[in-house]
Structure 1
Amino acid sequence: MPMLDVGTARIRVKNLRLRTFIGIKEEEINNRQDIIINLIILYSARAAVQENEIEYALNYRTITKAIIAHVENNRFALLERLTQELVDLVMAHEEVEYVEIEVDKPHALRYSDSVSVTLSGKR
């Protein structure tokens, strides 16, 4: 993970629980499944810290709402594809310097809590 520079903020969204169509088996294609998303976003917060005004901060609520809409309104065969699409969605915000996203698919394997894929993007 990149070292934090002075004024670099790390935003974490933890355990965003959503339902979507994910997988390749018929049961997965026909039924929504739970997924859990964790993300870390780095951006320069110098102006937000200095000005103490919302318009200088990265709007993580807007980003999270876009993630929710994308996940709930699409179908995915692979966790890798879903994760990369979310990385691309977050990196579309010019203020974002780095993002790391982990998507968990609970109970994807017998005897395990979940299977996850983690991908990142960097400017």
Structure 2
Amino acid sequence: MARIHIKNLRLRTFIGFNDEERRKRQDVVVNVWIEYDAGPAAQGDLVDEALDYKRITKEIIAHVEDNRFLLLEKLVNDLVDIVMAHRPAQQATVEVDKPHALRFSDSVSLTLSKSRED
């Protein structure tokens, strides 16, 4: 198994349930880890056998920027589902950080994983 890491994807979205959060976009930082069998792609240098992480990233960006979320849990779950919709993905882990969510803290993050076995 190979692991692809989409690292520190910085996006803006509406997230939260208090009035200010619902009026103003906030920064979120997305990290995605995807495990898949890269053997055929690696051995044959075959593009069609590789996981299309560029496409997955575009889908994540569109989903985050075009929607509103009350809870971090909903956002993270949606992003894991986007990754797992791609058949080569055997396991996905998504972490979303919400910078400045709490006073005196750099960020609050939530991480969720799913696999084909689930």
TM-score bin (small chain):
over 0.9
Pair 1:65-2:58 in alignment? yes
The TM-score, its normalising length taken from structure 1, stands at 0.93
The count of corresponding residues between Structure 1 and Structure 2 is 116
Give 1:1-123 correspondences, 5 Å limit: 8-123=1-116
AA in 2 matched with 1:84: N
Question: Structure 1: any 5+ residue segments left out of the alignment?
Answer: 1-7
Per-residue displacement from partner, 1:90-122 (whole Å, max 9, x unpaired)? 100111000100000000000000000000110
Separation in structure 1 between the aligned mates of residue 96 and residue 73 of structure 2, nearest angstrom: 9
The TM-score, its normalising length taken from structure 2, stands at 0.97
Separation in structure 1 between the aligned mates of residue 37 and residue 54 of structure 2, nearest angstrom: 17
Give me the identity figure in percent: 59
**C-alpha deviation, 1:54, in angstroms:** 1.0
AA in 1 matched with 2:46: E
Question: Structure 2: any 5+ residue segments left out of the alignment?
Answer: none
Separation in structure 2 between the aligned mates of residue 44 and residue 30 of structure 1, nearest angstrom: 43
Separation in structure 1 between the aligned mates of residue 83 and residue 12 of structure 2, nearest angstrom: 19
